Amino acid sequence: MPVIEATSEDTHSIAAKLRNAPVRGLSAADRIAAVARLASTLLHRADQGDLDFLAASGGLSPAMSRWALQMTLASVTPASLEAFLGSMALPGHRAVPVGLATVLLSGNVLTAPARALLLPLLMGVPVVARVSSREQAFAALLHDQLSDGCPSMQALAQGLALVAIDPATVPGKHAFQTLLGVGDVVSVYGSDHTCAEVRRQLPPGVAIVEHGHGLGVGVLGAAANTDDEGTEALADRFALDVAAYDQRGCLSPQVIFVEENGWVSPQRFAEALHHALARLAVTLPRGPLDHHVGAQQVQFRGVGAALGRLFEGDGWSVTYEGELPVRPTPGFRNIAVHSYADDATLMAKLASLGRHLKVVGYAGDELRPAFTQALPSPLAPRVCAPGEMQTPPFTVVWDGLPAWHGLVRYVAT
């Protein structure tokens, strides 16, 4: 395993070595080729053993782990990476990569480290990453595959260090504080509380890019709900959004709002979503249920049954809750469907989620721009089609910031 249990001293020496890593001297073409080759290798050569390993570590089923790999890496092509680097260009300026990025990973989405680790490397920025205590397998797999690859991939591997640090211990606390100070920028993935803690402990002169709490919602307006067939297809697409990563990510939908007076009633849509989740469970089964989530699931489903309608199956549930207040879902393919009367009501419900609303899956291609324009401030979610909530392009704008934010500095030429 390439994950190092690092002390404060280890962290210093790792950082010093990374700042001189060969990735800094690698040409953009070589970096593009290396990242694209890594993605291709993972996509096409990951065997059942790898998938079982990832599944066991990440808590997803092997089938969902494979799906996650495909969805995360399919858009990592030489053309897309070249376009991304090209998009960084600023007239009259040169983009200069920072010397070292520190990344604090979260463990709830299996393949999230791909973007967090590979984009800096693509830009020529070495990375020291603290892996999640819960999920280390995918980051380790990335490192292993890079190390076993061509010389350019090996150069990337030498620019990537994975460390495990437990700040609950005294040596871990020191190591963590060191980690926060060794890079030019810290990217933190985690809860709002984690982000705030990191911000508080950050030494002067180190930038921070926060990826805090988030959630997604689905919206099915009456204008997109005009016949049985189309609405069933939409249910299938929303079901994929719910099932993806077992609904554990910050892009996972927690509720789907269905406008009244559409062709299919909100309650019937909830039932259609239930059937869609049942179909999906055959090809993409849910991972094992943790006791804690199990207890929350019991509450979620029971409240749905007692106050609305519950449609449940072996590994998923849909509650129909009308216009009741939106309430927590435990994830793991437990989703609530709520009705709304008109756009004003919907906007008020969305506004209550504030900046935490990171993605909206909105049905109706031609209606999406108007919906997006009407979103009240400060909402700035990514608005996409149903079925695409959890599969943003690899280099997509994230939390309202371009993917290179914090990783480059611009020098006038």
Partner 1 sequence: MRAALAARVRAIIASQDTHPKPVASEDTHPKPDDASSASSASGDTQPVMFTTEPDPSEDTHLSPLLLDLAAFQAQHVDPYARLCEAQPGRSHPLDWAPALPTDVFRYTRVAAHPASEDTHSFRTSGTSSGARGTHPFRDLTLYDAAAHVHARRMLFPDVPRIPLVMLAAHPDDAPESSLSYMLGRFETWFGAGPATWCLRHDALDLGALTTALTTAQQRGTPVALLGTSFAFVFAEDGLTQRFALPPGSRIMQTGGYKGRTREIEPAVLRQMLSARYAIPEDFIVAEYGMTELSSQLYEASLRDRLMGHPSPRRHLVPPAWVRATPVDPETLAPLPPGRVGVLRIDDAANLDSVAAILTSDLAASAPDGSRGIELHGRATGAALRGCSLAIEEALSARARD
Where do contacts with partner 1 occur on this chain (CB under 8 A)? 59, 106-109, 132, 134, 189-192, 211-215, 248-250, 252, 254-255, 289-303, 305-307, 309-310, 314, 324-331, 352-357
Q: How far is the CB of 198 from partner 1 (least distance, A)?
A: 13
CA distance 89 to 85: 7
| Nearest CB to partner 1, comparing residues 223 and 295 | 295
Q: Positive or negative, the Cα torsion across 48, 51, 55, 56?
A: positive
| Nearest CB to partner 1, comparing residues 35 and 109 | 109
Task: Return the structure tokens found at 125.
Answer: 């920025």
| Nearest CB to partner 1, comparing residues 155 and 219 | 219
**Spatial CB neighbours of 190, under 8 Å, sequence gap ≥ 6:** 104, 106, 211, 212
| Nearest CB to partner 1, comparing residues 294 and 369 | 294
| Nearest CB to partner 1, comparing residues 129 and 224 | 129
**Spatial CB neighbours of 331, under 8 Å, sequence gap ≥ 6:** 246, 247, 248, 252, 254, 293
Q: How far is the CB of 300 from partner 1 (least distance, A)?
A: 8
Q: How far is the CB of 348 from partner 1 (least distance, A)?
A: 12
CA distance 194 to 201: 11
Q: How far is the CB of 75 from partner 1 (least distance, A)?
A: 21
Find where tokens 């709830």 sit. Answer: 108
Report the phi/psi class of residue 139: left, alpha or beta, with left for phi > 0 and alpha for psi in -120 to 50: alpha
| Nearest CB to partner 1, comparing residues 102 and 297 | 297
How far from each other are the two terminal CA atoms of the chain, in whole angstroms?
Answer: 43
Q: Rounded to 5 degrees, what are φ and ψ at 88? A: -75, -15
Q: How far is the CB of 6 from partner 1 (least distance, A)?
A: 21
DSSP lists the bridge partners of residue 254 as: none
DSSP lists the bridge partners of residue 37 as: none
Q: How far is the CB of 321 from partner 1 (least distance, A)?
A: 10
